[in-house]
Structure 1
Amino acid sequence: MRGRLTLLVGATTSLVLVAFLVPLALLVHTVAHDRAVSSAAIEARALSAVATGDKAALNTAVQRANAGEPFPVTVFRPDGTVIGEPAEETPAVRLARTGRTLNAELPDGGIEVLFSVGAAEGTSVIRVYVSPEQLRAGVYRAWLILALLGVALLGFSLLVANRLARSLVRSIDELALTSRRLAEGDLTARARLGGPPEISAVAGTLNTLATRISDLLVRERERVADLSHRVRTPLTALRLDAESLRDPAERERLENSVVALERAVTRTINDARRPARDGGRCDAARVVRERVEFWSVLAEDQERPMTVELPEHPLLVGLPEDELEPAVDALLGNVFAHTPDGTGFAVRLRERRDADGGGAILVVEDEGPGLPESATERGTSGAGSSGLGLDIARRAAETTGGSLTAESPAGARITLLLGGPVDA
């Protein structure tokens, strides 16, 4: 934008200078031409008083004029004699003998000024020659001055335009930088109020918008945190019910489930109260193994065949452990929620080799009835649930630059593509 504004001002200034300097240059040429011709005419008129007098006096006057004046003088007498600078009697001279005073252009580019002087013995013609150099005297110097003046004016206009454009573009760049910081999650970014009034107004509106977004996010986090906190009351009742069971194995299983649920609620409250963060890492193999062990108890109770393929070595992904666990739980919980008891499923985790930063690919597939077309849409569920499970997993994958795909070739297959750590 800065270059375009400077170019626009330069083009406009150039047009103005051309429209001004070209006529002025032509005028300078015309003035120099007329000045030379006028000077020659004055010289010819000055000799007209002695042109019809004594020949010796005329000869002396012509010699004096040729010695002191820049224009050569020739006098054509009625008797055919020529006094002064030798010159050819041109048709214009013969025309001047009829009593006319005129200026005639010559083939070499010069001009002869002819002044007719009548007398009793005939008409004499005073010829003053103006060379092409005399017609252009001072013209080239004036043109050079005009050209230098035009270049100076053009350079000055470009300098002023560049400074103005730089101040304008600087304000726009600051707005763009503030917008970029806000888009990246830095809600403390504010634009500087300065520059042209229009840009300053946009900066003020952007700052108001950023403040409004910050307020809305704070209120939303508090609302989610309050909602999550309300879940603690029924969780306490569940814990008491679990402790009242007489079967130790059943009591331990329910207590472990309640502890896991309380941990998830606490994590939700903490996540809701703190700003969103990027980055982090964890060992996906360890997290998936722990979550599979947790769900394996329920799978055994429901007589679900389970196939697990996990690498023995650590598999780093660019996601914190407290964000990967809910994603894995969402995929495994989806199997238990949407397939009947006894339906087998498989969990496979392998290293991602299609990206330079590493990562992992988690595949959870079951032998159930498959997924509806809208299964991956947020808030959509075919089993009466909230429909947020797959969306949680999808957002976790997208945080790392990955993705989630859902297929139903024979049953359901969910593929979670996780990116590697940013600093890997």
Structure 2
Amino acid sequence: MLVGSMVSLALVAFVVPLAVLAQMLAADRATADALVRAQSLVPVASVGTPEALGLAVQQANSAGGHPLTVFLSGGAALGAPAERSDAVRLAFTGRSLTARADGGREIVVAVTGRSSGAAVIRTFVSDAELTRGVRRAWLILALVGVGVLVVSLMVADRLARSQIRLITGVAGVSHRLAAGDLTARAPAEGPKELRQVAGALNHLARRITVLLAQEREAVADLSHQLRTPLTVLRLEAEALPQSEQAARVGAAVDAMERMVTQVIRDARRSRQDEPGECDAAQVVAARVHHWSMLARDQDRPVTRDLADPPLAVGVGEEPLTACVDALLENVFAHTPEATGFTVSLSPRHGGGAVLTVTDGGPGFAHAAAVERGVSGGSSTGLGLDIVRRTAERSGGSASFGAGPDGGTRVVVEFGPRPA
């Protein structure tokens, strides 16, 4: 649009003066031809007799061209019939001139020095002769102007397409980076400004890659440091007398070690790794059985409604275990003893599974309690965020709300096993 406007203005500023000049040149050419024709009779009109002058005018008019008329001082007129206009009367004073007349332009030439008095030679140029060739010139100019406009628009469109392609490519790279593809890079091509944008985006991508790598290693190192106290806990558990309580402590230490190992693997694993899979019915049943032993000690009624295995989901066994443990740990941590809870697991429409945990506790104290890092108690507030992220990585979702009896109800949907 901008290029078309600028080219159109330039064409108007260039073509309009040319069109006016073409019209002026055509009129000047026709006038000059008529003037030459009239001046050709000046020698005869200056020295010739009226008979000779009449014969010369008759021969000139018979040859065609602009009509010629000779006005004599006595009032006689020779040649083509014409009125004695104001221009003719003015020419008898010795002045040659060109004047506008009806339908064209008249040219009068004063002839002096005659023995029998002054004479005036008149010829007439019609408007058609004054504008002969003008329309053709205007048409050519118009075609040239349209051609220049079309070519300029084509060139501008080609240049704009190339620029848009480059800009779209840079935007696509930014979207890939936002989606987690840290290998995306923008090509350094095009204008200087666009190359600078591509370079800055590539620098940002490299910086993000370095920061994520450092973060993963920091998390892995921190998780690895937890192995020392876990080893002490294992030794303490093994030193306990053989009993059901000692077995539960040992199982808890084993689960903790598995979780720490999973954190280390997740921290060092690339985001492009293939998603895991497991049998959700088997994993959920095992974790509910584990927490049921603690629930029995606290007089908590446990209701199970679990689908029969196999029930494949797009989540690895260890992440799903951590997800179920986070949900059930919240029940034990944030509800009074003797408060019951219900765990149900059912197939999901389209593949996957739906896990629902409902308790009879007080529910969430405020809506912000489901946000990352926010807790109404003494916890870190990351448990529900772990649940949400685990579900979303599998292609599912998590929702948190109130249960039918006023407690807490968490519904987690896990996506199907990857094809």
Q: TM-score range by the shorter chain?
A: 0.7 to 0.9
Greater mean alpha carbon deviation, residues 203-212 or residues 168-177: 168-177
Give SS of 2:241's match. Answer: coil
Q: Which runs of 4+ in 1 moved over 6 A?
A: none
Shift of 1:308: 1.8
- Normalised by the length of structure 2, the TM-score is 0.87
Determine if the alignment matches structure 1 residue 346 to structure 2 residue 345: no
Aligned twin of 1:3: none
Aligned twin of 2:150: 155
Give SS of 1:223's match. Answer: helix
For 1:92 and 1:269, the matched residues in 2 are separated by 110
Shift of 1:40: 1.4
Letter aligned with residue 144 of structure 1: L
For 1:286 and 1:75, the matched residues in 2 are separated by 125
For 1:422 and 1:99, the matched residues in 2 are separated by 112
Greater mean alpha carbon deviation, residues 314-323 or residues 144-153: 314-323
C-alpha contact (below 8 Å) 2:391/2:415 kept by paired residues: no
Q: Per the alignment, do residues 284 and 98 of structure 1 end up closer, same or farther by CA in structure 2, a change over 3 Å counting?
A: farther
For 1:422 and 1:76, the matched residues in 2 are separated by 113
Q: Per the alignment, do residues 394 and 68 of structure 1 end up closer, same or farther by CA in structure 2, a change over 3 Å counting?
A: same
Q: Per the alignment, do residues 42 and 291 of structure 1 end up closer, same or farther by CA in structure 2, a change over 3 Å counting?
A: same
Aligned twin of 1:226: 221
Letter aligned with residue 151 of structure 2: F
C-alpha contact (below 8 Å) 1:369/1:411 kept by paired residues: yes
Letter aligned with residue 397 of structure 1: A
Greater mean alpha carbon deviation, residues 53-62 or residues 224-233: 53-62
For 1:68 and 1:315, the matched residues in 2 are separated by 112
Match of 2:294 among 292, 298, 303: 298
For 1:386 and 1:165, the matched residues in 2 are separated by 53
Shift of 1:204: 1.6
Q: Per the alignment, do residues 342 and 136 of structure 1 end up closer, same or farther by CA in structure 2, a change over 3 Å counting?
A: same
Deviation per residue, 1:281-303 (Å, 9 max, x gap)? 55544433332222222222222
Match of 2:398 among 403, 409, 421: 403
For 2:251 and 2:17, the matched residues in 1 are separated by 97
Match of 1:137 among 132, 140, 152: 132
C-alpha contact (below 8 Å) 2:185/2:202 kept by paired residues: yes
Shift of 1:326: 1.8
Alignment of 1:12-411 (within 5 A): 12-52=6-46, 53-66=48-61, 70-90=65-85, 92-93=87-88, 96-97=91-92, 100-108=95-103, 110-118=104-112, 119=114, 121-277=116-272, 282-312=278-308, 317-352=313-348, 357=350, 360-373=353-366, 374-399=368-393, 400=395, 402-407=397-402, 410-411=405-406
C-alpha contact (below 8 Å) 1:376/1:406 kept by paired residues: no
C-alpha contact (below 8 Å) 1:361/1:415 kept by paired residues: no
* Matched length: 414
Shift of 1:85: 3.2
Shift of 1:227: 1.1
Give SS of 1:50's match. Answer: helix
Letter aligned with residue 98 of structure 2: N
C-alpha contact (below 8 Å) 1:370/1:410 kept by paired residues: no
C-alpha contact (below 8 Å) 1:318/1:420 kept by paired residues: yes
For 1:243 and 1:16, the matched residues in 2 are separated by 93
Deviation per residue, 1:354-388 (Å, 9 max, x gap)? xxx55544322212233221321322333322221
Give SS of 2:43's match. Answer: coil
Letter aligned with residue 208 of structure 2: I
Letter aligned with residue 274 of structure 1: R
Q: Per the alignment, do residues 78 and 315 of structure 1 end up closer, same or farther by CA in structure 2, a change over 3 Å counting?
A: farther
C-alpha contact (below 8 Å) 2:361/2:408 kept by paired residues: no
Give SS of 1:49's match. Answer: helix
Q: Per the alignment, do residues 395 and 172 of structure 1 end up closer, same or farther by CA in structure 2, a change over 3 Å counting?
A: same
Give SS of 2:44's match. Answer: coil
C-alpha contact (below 8 Å) 1:378/1:387 kept by paired residues: yes
Letter aligned with residue 337 of structure 1: A
Q: Which runs of 5+ in 2 are unaligned?
A: none
Give the superposed CA RMSD.
Answer: 2.9
For 2:417 and 2:10, the matched residues in 1 are separated by 57
For 1:141 and 1:45, the matched residues in 2 are separated by 30
For 1:332 and 1:386, the matched residues in 2 are separated by 15
C-alpha contact (below 8 Å) 2:315/2:417 kept by paired residues: no
Q: Per the alignment, do residues 229 and 50 of structure 1 end up closer, same or farther by CA in structure 2, a change over 3 Å counting?
A: same
Deviation per residue, 1:14-47 (Å, 9 max, x gap)? 1111111112111111121122112212322231
Shift of 1:333: 0.9
Q: Per the alignment, do residues 422 and 51 of structure 1 end up closer, same or farther by CA in structure 2, a change over 3 Å counting?
A: farther
For 1:50 and 1:406, the matched residues in 2 are separated by 119
Give SS of 2:26's match. Answer: helix
For 2:371 and 2:64, the matched residues in 1 are separated by 102
For 2:171 and 2:186, the matched residues in 1 are separated by 9
